[in-house]
Amino acid sequence: MELSHTAEQERFREEVRAWIVEALPPEMRKRAEDGANFEHSEVMEWHKILFAKGWIAPNWPEEVGGPGWDVAERSIFQEECVRANTPNLSPFGLSMVGPLLIQYGSPEQKERFLPKILAGEEIWCQGYSEPNAGSDLANLQLRADKDGDDYILNGQKTWTTYAQYADWIFVLCRTSGEGKKQEGITFLLADIHNTEGIDVKPFLTTGGTYAFSETWFKDARVPQANRVGPEGGGWTMAKALLGHERTGIGGIAESARGLKRAKRIAQHTPVGNATLFDDAAFRGRIARKEMRLRAIEILNLRQLSAAQLGHAPGAESSVLKIVGTELQQEADELCMDAMGHNAMGWLDSPEEALPASQQAVASQFNYDRATTIYGGSNEIQKNIIAKQMLRLPGA
């Protein structure tokens, strides 16, 4: 495998780099330079800037709105966004339900939903986990009973990330109790704002943010036309979508940002007459993480290459999820170690006490403890790898 870029690819990199500098609004650019958090409104502003440029969905086929990039160009674009600290886009539409609709949706569903996902006109969230159905997702109990041309939904979802901002939610629900648990699950799309009986309640995380919500369904009426795939075929949809999710959760961009932040903090942390970054042992810790990051990047390139040939993510996405989420947490720990007692600072710490670039470190550390759990816990991913890749007896 050729690991160097061609002259043409390097010209593309320069084009992307120059455009990002020009396209980022001044206030957003300042926050990016500081490594500060972005508000939801800023994330959506950046979404629409990318959409206007035609670069909003690098992994989508060109015929449905993708830019027509090859694997190398997608990788370069991601690298340059990380380098510039641009806002992280919401994955639920662009990276999860969008690719699923491209693969399994009806022509009518593609026409209805894909353009609005691209334009950022409709925001999505995911309704998978329930209080008693997390890693054991097949245990879900949200009921969907037929009534004329509709389904009537009753039950609860939890950990619905940023549901308070979403217009639509894709849910797994139970349409049958017969046979294996997986056989009675159906995949539905529900309009949050225009469906009576859907109630979203955000709750505070230990990271000090309202990142998650509980979502309640009480006699919520959803058209059968919003079903993706056949009734009872939701488990197939779920596995395909979780493959896309796990690839995203692998968090290459997030790990790269975390390591970049750790280096910046170390370079500004005095130790005697030098800085923490001058300490060979600390630099060694960073170097080991960066070597792991490079290995994950190569694995991700293989995943993207397979996707470009039309293959849905397989068990390899579980490998990426395990290694990537562990590296995200290790990068957070490096930042916390580099900050010392300042690591106890919080999002509302005064600027004179803690620079804006460091105010989010403790919150991010808390939030990322969940990365090895959501999207299917890492223990579950090891079972998938044993069964589908290693073919271990009894797995």
- The span from the CA of 167 to the CA of 224, in Å, is 18
Together in a domain, 265 and 374: yes
96 in any annotated domain? no
In this prediction the pTM is 0.82
3-state SS class at 87: coil
Question: What is the chain's Cα-based Rg?
Answer: 22
**Between β-strands 124-127 and 168-174, what pairing exists: parallel, antiparallel or unpaired?**
parallel
- The span from the CA of 298 to the CA of 231, in Å, is 38
Assigned token pair, 159: 């950990």
Lowest mean pLDDT among 86-90, 132-136, 157-161, 364-368: 132-136
Residue type at 239 in one-letter notation: K
**Nearest residue to 286 (alpha-carbon basis) of 266, 303, 314:** 266
395 in any annotated domain? no
**Count of beta carbons in the 10 Å neighbourhood of residue 384:** 21
Per the CB < 8 A criterion, the answer to whether 155 and 173 are in contact is: yes
Per the CB < 8 A criterion, the answer to whether 120 and 90 are in contact is: no
- The span from the CA of 156 to the CA of 134, in Å, is 12
Assigned token pair, 250: 């692998």
Tally of structural domains, the chain:
3
- The span from the CA of 152 to the CA of 223, in Å, is 9
Assigned token pair, 193: 């704002």
3-state SS class at 148: coil
Provide the sign of the torsion angle of the four alpha carbons 7, 46, 209, 337, taken in this order: positive
Together in a domain, 258 and 384: yes
- The answer, yes or no, to whether residue 355 has pLDDT greater than 80, is no
- The answer, yes or no, to whether residue 317 has pLDDT greater than 90, is no
Give the contacts of 237 (CB within 8 A, at least 6 positions apart).
100, 104, 172, 187, 228, 229
Return the percent helix, strand and coil in the chain, to nearest 5: 55, 15, 30
| Residue 227: CATH number of its domain | 2.40.110.10
Reported as a single tens digit per residue, the pLDDT across 27-64 is 999 888 877 778 999 999 999 999 999 999 998 999 99
165 in any annotated domain? yes
Together in a domain, 380 and 268: yes
- The pLDDT score that the predictor gives to residue 276 is 94
2 in any annotated domain? no
Domain residue limits at 179:
103-116+123-237
Residue type at 20 in one-letter notation: I
| Residue 264: CATH number of its domain | 1.20.140.10
Final residue of a structural domain among 237, 272, 291 = 237
pLDDT band at 1 (very low <50, low <70, confident <90, very high): very low
Together in a domain, 35 and 132: no
271 in any annotated domain? yes
- The pLDDT score that the predictor gives to residue 248 is 57
- The answer, yes or no, to whether residue 213 has pLDDT greater than 90, is yes
3-state SS class at 150: strand
- The pLDDT score that the predictor gives to residue 374 is 78
Residue type at 59 in one-letter notation: N
- The span from the CA of 283 to the CA of 276, in Å, is 9
213 in any annotated domain? yes
- Mean confidence (pLDDT) of the chain: 88
Please give the span between the terminal C-alpha atoms of the chain, in angstroms, as a whole number. Answer: 32
Together in a domain, 271 and 216: no
Per the CB < 8 A criterion, the answer to whether 299 and 320 are in contact is: yes
Say how many CA atoms lie within 13 Å of 288 toward its Cβ: 9
Together in a domain, 365 and 308: yes
Final residue of a structural domain among 237, 258, 279 = 237
- The span from the CA of 294 to the CA of 11, in Å, is 22
3-state SS class at 111: helix
Assigned token pair, 281: 């042992």
Which residues belong to the active site?
A: 245
Give the relative orientation of helices 40-53 and 7-23 as an angle to the nearest 10 degrees: 130
Together in a domain, 383 and 259: yes
**137-159: string of b/e by CB count within 10 Å (b at 16+)?**
beebebebeeeeebbbbbbbbbb
- The span from the CA of 285 to the CA of 194, in Å, is 51
Together in a domain, 60 and 132: no
Together in a domain, 320 and 355: yes
Together in a domain, 264 and 380: yes
- The span from the CA of 13 to the CA of 15, in Å, is 5
pLDDT band at 364 (very low <50, low <70, confident <90, very high): confident
- The span from the CA of 244 to the CA of 27, in Å, is 32
331 in any annotated domain? yes
- The answer, yes or no, to whether residue 11 has pLDDT greater than 90, is yes
205 in any annotated domain? yes
Question: Nearest 10 degrees: CA dihedral of 64, 160, 202, 136?
Answer: 180
Residues forming a β-bridge with 151: 146, 222
Together in a domain, 109 and 226: yes
Per the CB < 8 A criterion, the answer to whether 187 and 234 are in contact is: yes
Q: What is the mean pLDDT of residues 224-252?
A: 80
- The answer, yes or no, to whether residue 109 has pLDDT greater than 90, is yes
Q: What is the mean pLDDT of residues 61-75?
A: 90
- The pLDDT score that the predictor gives to residue 29 is 92
